[in-house]
Amino acid sequence: MINTQELPKPTKEKVLTWEEIRKMRIQAFDTFFAAFKPALNAIYYPGSNKDFSPSKTKGFQGKRIIYVDMDTKAIQTLQRMGFDAYVSDAEAFDPGEVDLLLLFNFYADKPLEHVVKNGYVICNQHWQEQAFTKILKKNDFEFVGALVETNGIVRLDRENLQNYSLAPDRNKGKSANLFVFRKK
């Protein structure tokens, strides 16, 4: 018979609020911009819902940021805030050429086609499996960095990239590491 007092107590990982995720993403985007100094004209965020963190990022200020989602209420909220936002299916929407693609809430191949040569894709750990199997193998991208959050601080890791291509940690979801890819 198992003594239940000897079993480890289950731990609950803190679930981040949207505001906490937004702040973390802004910090990650600022870190990305400072490290890569990308020439950005257009940033495409399909599946954005009501997340406007790119618009609050210093390095992205003055750039065209295109928000697309099927959620009419979320897009109307972004539109009322003055953002370039569209109700559409990201597989069908044509943003034109983009320098940065943000894939956080879903994975789809079609948006990748809009990324220009030397453009970037940032995706979260939730889509790690698709990132490493599809983005790298099918779309001529290279893995160039991981934006890693530890104790509320985001840093860029370019040294240990092999550590991030392992199986995803499904428990971390939206709040986990962000992966940076560059189109060759």
CATH number, residue 167 = 3.40.50.150
- Residue 30 domain flag: yes
- Alpha helices by DSSP H, listed for the chain, are 18-36, 72-80, 128-130, 136-138
Instruction: Please indicate, yes or no, if residue 42 is contained in any of the structural domains.
Output: yes
Could you count the other beta carbons within 10 Å of the beta carbon of residue 59? Answer: 17
Answer yes or no: is pLDDT of 75 > 80: yes
Strand 178-183 versus strand 141-150 pairing type: antiparallel
Residue 25 lies in a domain: yes
Flag the least confident range among 21-35, 119-133, 139-153, 161-175.
Answer: 161-175
Contact 138, 109 (CB under 8 A): yes
Does the structure show a pLDDT above 80 at 26?
A: yes
Q: In this predicted structure, what is the pLDDT of residue 100? A: 97
| Domain assignment present for 156 | yes
Whether 63 shows a pLDDT value over 60: the answer reads: yes
Question: What pLDDT does 131 receive?
Answer: 66
Whether 155 maps to a domain, the answer reads yes
Question: What's the rounded Cα separation, in Å, for the pair 69 and 83?
Answer: 13
Which tokens go with 88?
A: 């559409």
Mean pLDDT of 93-111: 88
Q: Output the pLDDT for position 1.
A: 41
Task: Give the span between the Cα atoms of 5 and 104, in whole angstroms.
Answer: 40
Q: What phi and psi, each to the nearest 5 degrees, are found at residue 41? A: -115, -45
Split at pLDDT 50, 70, 90, the class of 102 is very high
Report yes or no on 21 lying in a domain. yes
Number of Cβ within a 10 Å radius of residue 85: 23
How many domains in the chain?
1
Look up the domain containing 121 and give its range: 16-183
